Amino acid sequence: MKNIDSHSHVRGESVYLDDVPVVRGTLYACVFDSPVAHGKLKSINTNEAEKSAGVVRVITAKDLVGENQIGGIVPDEPLLADGEVHFQGQSIAIVVAETEELARKAAKKITVEIDELEPVTDPRVAAANESFIVPPKKFVLGDTAAAFANCAHIFEGRTEQNGQEHLYIETQGAYALPTENGGIKIYSSTQGPTAVQRAVCRVTGMPMHKVEVDVQRLGGGFGGKEDQANAWAGICAVATQLTGKPVKYALHRMEDMRMTGKRHPYSSDYKIGLDKDLKIVAYEATFYQNAGAACDLSPPVLERTLFHCTNSYYIPNVTATAYCCRTNLPPNTAFRGFGGPQGMFVIESAIARAAERLNVTAAEIQKANLLVDGDEFPYGQKAESEAVTSWTQADEKYDFTKLYKESDEFNASSKYFKKGVAMMPVCFGISFTKTPMNQARSLVHVYTDGSVAVSTGAVEMGQGVNTKIAQVAAKMFGLDIGEVKVHTTNTLRIANTSPTAASAAADLNGKATQLACDAIRNRLFDVAKDLVEAASVDDLSLEQGFVFRNGEKTTLDWNSLVMEAHLQRVNLSEHSHYATPGIGFDWTTAKGHPFAYHVYGTAIVGVTVDCLRGRYKIDYVKCCHDFGTSMNTAVDLGQIEGGIVQGLGWMTMEEVVYDRDGKLRSNALSTYKVPDIHSVPKEIAVLPLETTRENLAIFNSKAVGEPPLMYGIGAYFAIRNAIKSFTDCSPEFDCPFTPEKVLMNLYR
């Protein structure tokens, strides 16, 4: 079953923010942002900008009617800088003009007087200054100190991980329209319509029932629009409030790259202890998260790092500590994996270090420590593990020994090209780690012509969630998918939504849709029972557009049933609520059962490094992946391939560069390299894990949005292995492994 958007996508007919028809009188906003990373804002001179052609208004912090605050977790993020600036790219003033060009032209005429202060860009420096956004967080299992005392082998080290630009194809933006009696309607490119609604209400001082947020779809979000769409919606809303006119702002690529936060860079320390049989007995990790200048989503990202600090392994003694460090970079934010990948990179580095010192392959250590059923995670939950099954099934299919041997044989006879192989097991927890967020609602209408309209809190951002939701309704009513239309995500139809994030949108909103359809179906069965003379409603089902009785098709079709029900004044609409059962987490003890389930998988990654030039090719990523029971193979394979390539990009070529002044140097696509068609592995093989286990996913179809990204981490270690077969050096754990860095390691 194809993605329902394929047809309009390839014809260029899908509607994004910039395709919403603009009404007459619309004005355009442009932000003037801070040219320095840290300083006292002495004055803002807007005179020239105000006199500039087409300018209607220039807005600064003092003009705001509501609160100058958009920080969702910690109130540390003004909409417009006031008194101080904390990062280059921080919004200071909004220019509102008759056209986009005139707004941008006028913004260039604003000048500011800033007394510069020393910027901090390094999280370890921030930590030394005790500049933390929230207090440190810690997970403890067993007793590491006692365990290290009895370890046969102990290795310690440090890892560095860089950030990642989201590079959604559609940049951030919003369009605000005044509605009657002082209301505002916002079109926003956001993963979190309710988050936008709250932020808009806060900065305008309006109540939530007067603000409508509508989202058709995003040209990608990848976490970058979970929280960071709020500012642009707030800016447009404030401008609409102050001018009475519709206001639109769609960022240019360089504005977006400069002004928005990215994946969090981390600097981390690890200490790993093994016994003589390669069992990991103890593990200590300390994570310094570069949060940037404001809280944003950094604390839950940091928590997810802790939740994933042991990846797919059972380690009986763990102490993991995490610091949320405030620096003068744009506030870093959610990015596919949400801190999980950062936690996994560190344990994989520790294992790689242990392996090279013990002269075994990392795979031997990885395999010896895979989670099995009942093993306890450092946060108390017990594993229902597919770590071993995914490893064995991948091995049976791909033959790891053969792949390692091929690589070794190639290396024996090749002087300047070297191959490297690495295994990457993944175990990723599904649910928002903040339990209250695991709820969703769905509104289903069956119209009298038999067609079905569904609205949920899920936002379509290319991941295919609308296709899955349409499938749920179609399946529940026994209809063709063409009979179901999934509508925009709108805060008037669905209130108090959680953002579309944590890979949980299809589960949460799909389950809510299933409940809504079930309620309507039950009412329809009551009507159908008499019409088809069934003994009980339990004998009825809906299939192929007909009522079936005891598995046999009757003459009663869906459309007739629906019309008859309507004539009998039966309700053909339902609004349902779903909340994931059985989950919870207690931060006072740092123990609980935060995840509905885990997604498992094992990948083997092979690369070839050109040892004269430092360039490399990813030859293959072959994985056995736990889909549960996939609802939609095409959509899920798309998520796996996209996730893997995005993970490879983060690990190999994407390099976010800020200079010491906190200025983004990789500020355009000419200086920030993302994977293209040539960097995609020559082979991506995906084997669905065979399992019959039940789970809490919609129709048993496990979440697929984020976990595959982490297979990409294997590429780092495969490249590292290739380098090690060329020289004796032991490369630092410092990602991404750009060709420059590879070359330096080859000839260190």
The catalytic residue positions are 706
Least Å from the CB of residue 419 to ligand HPA: 36
335 binds ligand HPA (CB under 6 A): no
403 binds ligand MOS (CB under 6 A): no
Show Cβ contacts of residue 193 under 8 Å, excluding neighbours closer than 6 positions.
213, 214, 215, 457, 459, 489, 490, 491, 497
Picking from 95, 66, 62, the residue whose alpha carbon sits closest to that of residue 81 is 62
647 binds ligand MOS (CB under 6 A): no
Reading the block at residue 724, the tokens are 């090690």
Identified binder of ligand MTE from the candidate list 196, 370, 506, 562, rule CB under 6 A: 506
Helix (H) or strand (E) holding 115: strand 111-116
501 binds ligand MTE (CB under 6 A): yes
Least Å from the CB of residue 699 to ligand HPA: 22
596 binds ligand MOS (CB under 6 A): no
Identified binder of ligand MTE from the candidate list 192, 457, 462, 712, rule CB under 6 A: 462
Identified binder of ligand HPA from the candidate list 304, 445, 549, 598, rule CB under 6 A: 304
Cβ proximity to ligand HPA: between 109 and 304 the closer is: 304
Please report, as residue ranges, which positions from 191 to 220 form the binding site for ligand MTE (by CB under 6 A). Answer: 220
705 binds ligand MTE (CB under 6 A): yes
**Per-position DSSP letters for 531-583, written without gaps between them:** HTT-S-GGGEEEETTEEEETTEEEEEEHHHHHHHHHHTT---EEEEEEE-TT-
501 binds ligand HPA (CB under 6 A): yes
Cβ proximity to ligand HPA: between 170 and 226 the closer is: 226
Show Cβ contacts of residue 387 under 8 Å, excluding neighbours closer than 6 positions.
312, 313, 370, 371, 372, 425, 427, 600, 602
Least Å from the CB of residue 643 to ligand MTE: 7
511 binds ligand HPA (CB under 6 A): no
- Of ligand MOS, ligand HPA, ligand MTE, none, which one does residue 529 interact with (CB within 5 to 8 Å by kind)? none
Least Å from the CB of residue 228 to ligand MOS: 11
CB atoms inside a 10 Å sphere around CB 156: 12
**594: region left, alpha or beta (phi > 0 left; psi from -120 to 50 alpha):** alpha
Please state, in angstroms and rounded to a whole number, the distance separating the CA atoms of residues 310 and 144.
14
Please report, as residue ranges, which positions from 208 to 227 form the binding site for ligand HPA (by CB under 6 A). Answer: 226
Least Å from the CB of residue 263 to ligand MOS: 9
**Site map for ligand MTE, 325-364, x if CB under 6 A?**
-----------x----------------------------
334 binds ligand HPA (CB under 6 A): yes
Show Cβ contacts of residue 503 under 8 Å, excluding neighbours closer than 6 positions.
428, 430, 599, 703, 704, 705, 706, 707
Helix (H) or strand (E) holding 91: strand 91-97
**Per-position DSSP letters for 164-210, written without gaps between them:** -----SSPPEEEEEEEGGGEEEEEE--S-HHHHHHHHHHHHT--GGG
Least Å from the CB of residue 639 to ligand MOS: 12
Buried b (16+ CB within 10 A) or exposed e, 34-58: bbbbbbebeebebeebeebebbbbb
What's the 3-state SS for 427-496?
EEEECCCCHHHCEEEEEEEECCCCCEEEEECCCCCCCCHHHHHHHHHHHHHCCCHHHEEECCEECCCCCC
Q: Tokens 């200048």 identify what position?
A: 293
261 binds ligand HPA (CB under 6 A): no
- Of ligand MTE, ligand HPA, ligand MOS, none, which one does residue 304 interact with (CB within 5 to 8 Å by kind)? ligand HPA
Identified binder of ligand HPA from the candidate list 39, 292, 300, 343, rule CB under 6 A: 300
**Site map for ligand MOS, 461-490, x if CB under 6 A?**
------------------------------
Q: Tokens 């592995």 identify what position?
A: 681
Identified binder of ligand HPA from the candidate list 104, 124, 158, 434, rule CB under 6 A: 434
- Of ligand MOS, ligand HPA, ligand MTE, none, which one does residue 300 interact with (CB within 5 to 8 Å by kind)? ligand HPA
Identified binder of ligand MOS from the candidate list 103, 324, 501, 590, rule CB under 6 A: 501
Cβ atoms 66, 290 nearer than 8 A: no
Residues touching ligand HPA, count (CB under 6 A): 12
Helix (H) or strand (E) holding 584: strand 584-586
Cβ atoms 131, 88 nearer than 8 A: no
Reading the block at residue 506, the tokens are 């299809």
Please report, as residue ranges, which positions from 175 to 204 form the binding site for ligand MOS (by CB under 6 A). Answer: 191
Cβ proximity to ligand MOS: between 157 and 223 the closer is: 223
Residues that bind ligand HPA (CB under 6 A): 226, 297, 300, 304, 334, 338, 432-434, 437, 501-502
Residues that bind ligand MTE (CB under 6 A): 220-223, 336, 461-463, 465, 500-506, 639, 642, 703, 705-706
Residues that bind ligand MOS (CB under 6 A): 191, 223, 226, 334-336, 338, 501-502
